[in-house]
Amino acid sequence: MQNFINKLQSSLNDGSFVKLTLSKPKANSQQPAADLRNVYVKPIILKNEKMFSFTYRYERRDETKNYDAEQTLEVINQLVPNVFLNASLFTLTEDITLLISKKGKATVMSKAVKEQREQNVQHDKVKNRLINTDNPWWFKLGLTTREGKVTADMQHKFKQICKYVEIVDGVMKNVKFDGKIRIADMGAGKGYLTFALYEYLTQRCKYDIEMEGVEIRPDLVVKINEIIKESNLKDFRFVESSIDSYQLSAVSCQQPIANSQQPTANSQLDVLIALHACNTATDDAIIKGIEYGAKLIICAPCCHKQIRQEMEKSGKIDVITRYGIFMERQAVMITDTIRALILEYFGYKTQVMEFIEMEHTPKNILLVGRKSDAPVDKKAILYQIEYLKNQYGIEKHYLEKIFLD
C-alpha cells in the first residue's frame, strides 16, 4: 500500500501523473453515499494553476471536485482502502495497479509504458454534441442565444433533446430502410425534438428523410413552418391536425392500411414518433403507426388517466393499489404493458426503456416497436390482455378500438 502511495506522490510532484481510477467499492464501507461506484482523477489547469479534478461517479449522477497535489494525496489515502479496493495509476512512464483483497492484503503491479503518452489538462472538455447549437433555427426556437449558447433555463431541455436523439438513432440503426425515410412526429409542439432529429439524421448521418411534424395548434404550425422556410430546410414541414385525424400528406402518399390487413412492404410511413402525447393521444398515434405500416413506432407516453379511471370505477383495490401513489404507478404500467402487447399482436417486436433520468422529467418511459416478420401467437397475446384487464377491473383499454375500427 505504501509502495503505491509513494509512486502516486512522486507522479504528483514530478508532473508525470496522467490519470487515476478507483474502482471495486468495498462492501459495507463507511462511505457517505453507498451508491458511489468509481472515482476518476485527471490533471487540469485552473486559473493558471495545476489542479486535479476528481469525478465521483454515482449510480445516477456525477459530482466533480478539484484539489491541489497535497489535497489529492490526502483524499486518495482516505478513499483507499476505506472505500475502494482497486486503484489504477497511469503516469507518463509507468502503469501501476493496486489490488486489495477482502482480508486487506495489498498487491502492487507495475508495467513500463513503451508508447509516447501525453497529458490532457484541458478543463472544459469540448463535448461531442449530437446537435449543433450554432444552427440558426435553435435561436429562433428559443433554445439558444444568438451566439449559439444554450440558455440557462433550457439546459435540461437540451440534455433531454440530446438523449432523445441518441436513443432514436440507436433504434433506427437496427431497422432496414429502403430509399427516403418518411417520419411523422405526432403532437410535435414547439418542434425542439422534431428539429433535433431532422438535423441529426440529415447533417450527421446523411440520411435522405422526409419529416412531418403533426400539431393541432395553428399558431405553432405557422410559426414553425416560417422557421423551416427561413432556414431553407427541405423535405420538412409541420401540418395542422389532431393525431386521430392525421392523414399522410399528398406527396407520395398511399391510403392507410386496413386494420385487418398486414402492412405492405412499400409503406410510405417508415417511422412514427409520439413524445408525451397526453393520455389516449398516445394510443391514437400508435393506431396511425399500425395503420400506415410504420417500420418503427417510438412513443414516450404520459398522463395515463384512462386506465386509472377504469380501475377506480371497478372498485377492485388490492394491497398495492389501495395506496394512491401506487395506484397511479400501477395504472401507468398496465397502460403501457397493454400498448406493448397490442403492438406485438400487429407484428412489432417491443421494447420499453428509460428515456431520460428522473431528475429531468418524470415522464421517462420510451415504448419502442420494431416491425418484425416473426410469427405471432395472437391468441396468447389476447389472453394476456384479458387477464390484465380482469385482474384490475378494466373494461376496455382505449387502444383496443383498433380491433373494431
Spatial separation of the C-alpha atoms in residues 75 and 100, rounded to whole Å: 18
Whole-number pLDDT of residue 222: 96
Closest CA to 119 of 151, 92, 93: 92
DSSP 179-239: SSEEEEEET-TT-HHHHHHHHIIIIIS---EEEEEEES-HHHHHHHHHHHHHTT-TTEEEE
Spatial separation of the C-alpha atoms in residues 359 and 160, rounded to whole Å: 11
Segment 204-218 shows an average pLDDT of: 93
Query: What is the CA angle 212-217-221, rounded to 5?
Result: 45
Q: Which of 49-63, 178-192, 371-385 has the lowest mean pLDDT?
A: 49-63
Segment 329-343 shows an average pLDDT of: 92
Q: Is the pLDDT of residue 26 over 80?
A: yes
Q: Which of 93-107, 203-217, 314-328 has the lowest mean pLDDT?
A: 314-328
Whole-number pLDDT of residue 113: 82
Whole-number pLDDT of residue 122: 56
Helix, coil or strand: residue 241? coil
Mean pLDDT computed over every residue of the chain: 85
Cα 109 to the chain's mean position, in Å? Answer: 39
377 pLDDT band (50/70/90 cuts)?
very high
Residue 366's region, left for phi above 0, alpha for psi from -120 to 50, else beta, is beta
Taken in order 156, 161, 167, 170, is the CA torsion positive or negative? negative
Whole-number pLDDT of residue 387: 94
C-alpha to C-alpha distances, 327 to 314, 331, 332, nearest whole angstrom: 13, 6, 9
Segment 275-296 shows an average pLDDT of: 90
Spatial separation of the C-alpha atoms in residues 52 and 168, rounded to whole Å: 36
249 pLDDT band (50/70/90 cuts)?
low
Closest CA to 288 of 167, 182, 193, 217: 182
Spatial separation of the C-alpha atoms in residues 405 and 394, rounded to whole Å: 20
Q: Is the pLDDT of residue 258 over 50?
A: no
Whole-number pLDDT of residue 33: 58
Spatial separation of the C-alpha atoms in residues 369 and 343, rounded to whole Å: 7
Query: Exposed, middle or buried by CB within 10 Å (0-12, 13-18, 19+), for 217?
Result: exposed
57, containing H or E segment: strand 49-58
Spatial separation of the C-alpha atoms in residues 11 and 17, rounded to whole Å: 5
**C-alpha cell of residue 346:** 400487429
Q: Give the domains, in start order, of the chain with CATH numbers.
A: 2-112 (no CATH), 136-403 (3.40.50.150)
> What separation, in Å, do the N-terminal and C-terminal C-alpha atoms of the chain show?
72
**C-alpha cell of residue 162:** 440530446
C-alpha to C-alpha distances, 135 to 41, 195, 203, 245, 292, nearest whole angstrom: 34, 11, 11, 33, 33
Segment 25-54 shows an average pLDDT of: 81
Q: Is the pLDDT of residue 251 over 50?
A: no
**What pTM value is reported for the model?**
0.65
Q: Is the peptide bond before 81 cis (omega within 30 degrees of 0)?
A: yes
C-alpha to C-alpha distances, 263 to 171, 253, 267, nearest whole angstrom: 20, 14, 7
Q: Name the more confident of 323 and 357.
A: 323
Pairing of strands 209-215, 236-240: parallel
Whole-number pLDDT of residue 32: 54
Q: Is the pLDDT of residue 29 over 60?
A: no
Whole-number pLDDT of residue 378: 95
pLDDT per residue as tens digits for the range 89-100: 999 999 999 999
Which residues, including other chains, have CB under 8 Å from residue 117's CB and lie 6 or more apart? 18, 90, 92
Q: What percent of the chain has pLDDT over 90?
A: 55
Which residues, including other chains, have CB under 8 Å from residue 53's CB and lie 6 or more apart? 41, 42, 43, 44, 64, 65, 66, 123
